[in-house]
Amino acid sequence: MDRKLQVEHFHAETNNIYMRMSQNNVRLPLTASEVLYAEKVDELLSNDHAYRVLEQLRSSLAYWKKQRLVVMAMIRQLGTPTLFVSISAAETKWPELLVVLKKLIDGVVITEAEAEALDNEVKCRRIQSDPITCASYFDKRFRALKGTWATDNTINAFSPYVMGNNYYRVEFQHRGSPHVHMFLYLKDVPLLDNTLENSEAMSANVMEIRCEIMSARTETLNPEL
């Protein structure tokens, strides 16, 4: 193994493991060569000579390592997700949020119409001044949107298909705005033809399925809504 990779692996393993030592159970300190073997680490954990930390702390290396195993298990059990969806915040397009920000930051009450009329630069300054409120509002909107996908009605963006299993991860862009990456498993959707070997034919099959899903959504919409 490359020396750099060995060092990175050593850091990844030892950064999330605490050793248990007592006067009745004195052992020699772990060496780098021991930690490089997953079997040795598993032995220490199973014998209660060590324990992992930070697995429940979001953004930690241990947490995302565990989540990666969850995602891989989903793919093994359920197959390829139906859709990969990215959702980004559009704070400047949400007048109700701008009304709240104006009141919290400036102590001034404005209407949604007045909020929409604000200059884009003014909107951005308000958003940057209170990222916590913006992130909280995005979270509420996302959870409400996600809840509609589990029902077969005109509110559901994928109707008549409903969401089964899913996995999502929230990330924050450099400017502090949240966005979500999701794996979605929709029920009773057309399946991808895995027997196709030609890349062009596979791409055409993917486009056909996508169009079928979205056209089904269009047909179920009530034009009066």
Express each pLDDT in 78-120 by its tens digit.
988 888 889 999 999 999 999 999 999 999 999 999 999 999 9
- Cα gap 21→75, rounded to integer Å: 39
Asked whether residue 42 is assigned to any structural domain, the reply reads yes
The predicted model scores a pTM of 0.65
| Band (20; pLDDT cuts 50, 70, 90) | low
Asked whether residue 81 is assigned to any structural domain, the reply reads no
- β strands within 55-144, DSSP E: 83-88
Domain limits for position 19: 3-53
- Other beta carbons within 10 angstroms of residue 212's beta carbon come to 13
Average pLDDT over residues 63-91: 89
Asked whether residue 214 is assigned to any structural domain, the reply reads no
Q: How many domains does the chain have?
A: 1
Asked whether residue 27 is assigned to any structural domain, the reply reads yes
Helix (H), strand (E) at residue 11: helix 3-14
Q: Which pLDDT does position 149 carry in this prediction?
A: 81
Asked whether residue 146 is assigned to any structural domain, the reply reads no
Asked whether residue 73 is assigned to any structural domain, the reply reads no
Spatial CB neighbours of 113, under 8 Å, sequence gap ≥ 6: 95
Asked whether residue 21 is assigned to any structural domain, the reply reads yes
Starting at the edge strand found earlier in the chain, the sheet holding 163-172 runs 83-88, 178-186, 163-172
Asked whether residue 77 is assigned to any structural domain, the reply reads no
